[in-house]
């Protein structure tokens, strides 16, 4: 079975890992958000792509949720001594990824080609695609003004109320090669990622939302909200500040026109009726993945929905 996962950071990466464990090689495509991408110290940083790659390569730091296991920080410490602003933590091994990416982008390679090279070097089996090779930058409107994504997320610890989002470059950004084809998979899954910060920028790329609406396969979304709270990150606050209900039902309303099946956590079983009333098939299960066995279990349930 061909499966495509639309993914942001940690939640998307974990489900990608589960699907990779559950599927035969070359069955899985992961289309990844690049709205969080930024440049630091002249290096091209793609946090969501790296979280997906590191998790699929089983090199990620599970406890922290980002970056590589067993990292050291000698370069960052030296950068600080050289007067650089080091609010964004970059490990020594992680920096190698950014150095390789930057060198290849500068010589003209597309981000999708660079990502494929890095994935191959790490022994990652699924096809990991940035949603676009073009510029796409999530900007966050807050009471303090419009912030770059990493300034909002890391620099200010996503403490600002989100009043709106702007996906700079989305109008002109074209899907990376393979992205639209991937949406024709037998199963398309929207990961339990932040609907606004991770999934929306994917859909904002020209033709992606339309391709998802028209997708011939089964389309399934997994709610990132469980028991009225985000599993990780600021999804709950953002739902609230943008006027949505902070629940799996609120998420289902956002995705109602895009998917066939809504997967909600067993703690939200009481919402199954209202979600079904939106015209969606509802699947109630334990959506908290935790380690690899939990990821694979959830993945197998999703595959059974196709």
The residues that touch a copy of itself, with contacts defined as CB under 8 A, are: 41-43, 71-72, 74-79, 81-84, 91-97, 99-100, 102-104, 106-107, 117-118, 121-122
Nearer to a copy of itself, 76 or 147 (CB): 76
Start-to-end CA distance of the chain, whole Å, equals: 9
Shortest Cβ 131–a copy of itself spacing (Å): 23
What sections of the chain are H helices per DSSP?
10-22, 47-56, 74-81, 92-106, 111-121, 149-150, 179-182, 200-204, 208-213, 235-241, 248-255, 272-276, 292-305
Q: Residue 139 and residue 206: Cα distance in Å, rounded? A: 18
The three-state secondary structure class of 40 is strand
Question: Closest distance between a copy of itself and the C-beta of residue 150, in Å?
Answer: 16
| Residue 126 DSSP label | S
Burial class (CB in 10 A: 0-12, 13-18, 19+), 18: buried
**Minimal distance, residue 83 CB to a copy of itself, in Å:** 5
Task: Find the shortest distance in angstroms from Cβ 32 to a copy of itself.
Answer: 18
Give the whole-angstrom CA distance, residue 185 versus residue 230: 28
Closest approach of Cβ 30 to a copy of itself, in Å? 19
* Beta carbon nearer to a copy of itself, 37 or 265: 37
- Residue 241: name the closest of 165, 167, 140, 161 by CA: 161
For residue 110, the minimal CB distance to a copy of itself (Å) is 16
Q: Which distant-in-sequence residues (6+ apart) come within 8 Å of 267 by Cβ?
A: 226, 227
Q: Are 188 and 209 in contact (CB under 8 A)?
A: no
Q: Which is nearer to a copy of itself, 59 or 231 (CB)?
A: 59
Q: 283 with 263: CB under 8 angstroms?
A: yes
Residue with Cβ nearer a copy of itself (39 or 266): 39
The crossing angle, in degrees rounded to 10, of helices 47-56 and 92-106 is: 120
Considering the complex, state which of residue 51 and residue 241 has its C-beta at the smaller distance from a copy of itself.
Answer: 51
Nearer to a copy of itself, 104 or 295 (CB): 104
Pick the closest to residue 57 from 132, 118, 129, 131 (CA basis).
Answer: 118
Question: Least distance from C-beta 90 to a copy of itself, angstroms?
Answer: 10
| C-beta of 82 vs 214, nearer to a copy of itself | 82
């Amino acid at each position: 079975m061909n499966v495509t996962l639309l993914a942001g950071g940690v939640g998307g990466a974990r489900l990608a890992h589960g699907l990779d464990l559950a599927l035969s090689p070359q069955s899985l495509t992961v289309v990844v958000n690049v709205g969080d991408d930024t440049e630091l110290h002249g290096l091209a940083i793609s946090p969501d792509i790296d979280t997906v790659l590191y998790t699929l390569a089983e090199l990620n730091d599970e406890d922290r949720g980002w970056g590589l296991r067993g990292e050291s920080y000698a370069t960052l410490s030296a950068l600080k001594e050289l007067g650089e602003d080091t609010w964004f933590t970059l490990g020594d091994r992680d920096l190698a990824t950014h150095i390789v990416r930057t060198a290849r982008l500068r010589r003209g390679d597309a981000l999708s080609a660079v990502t494929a090279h890095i994935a191959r070097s790490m022994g990652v089996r699924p096809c990991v695609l940035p949603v676009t090779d073009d510029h796409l930058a999530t900007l966050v409107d807050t009471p303090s003004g419009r912030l770059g994504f990493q300034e909002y997320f890391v620099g200010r610890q996503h403490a600002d109320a989100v009043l709106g989002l702007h996906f700079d470059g989305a109008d002109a950004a074209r899907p990376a090669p393979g992205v639209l084809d991937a949406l024709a998979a037998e199963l398309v899954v929207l990961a339990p990622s932040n609907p606004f910060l991770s999934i929306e920028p994917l859909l904002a790329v020209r033709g992606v939302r339309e391709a998802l609406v028209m997708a011939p396969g089964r389309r399934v979304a997994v709610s990132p909200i469980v028991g009225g709270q985000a599993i990780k990150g600021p999804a709950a606050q953002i739902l609230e500040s943008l006027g949505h209900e902070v629940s799996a039902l609120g998420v289902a309303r956002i995705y109602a026109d895009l998917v066939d099946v809504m997967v909600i956590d067993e703690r939200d079983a009481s919402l199954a009726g209202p979600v079904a009333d939106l015209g969606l098939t509802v699947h109630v299960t334990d959506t908290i993945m935790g380690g690899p066995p939990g990821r694979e279990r959830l993945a197998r349930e999703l595959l059974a929905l196709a």
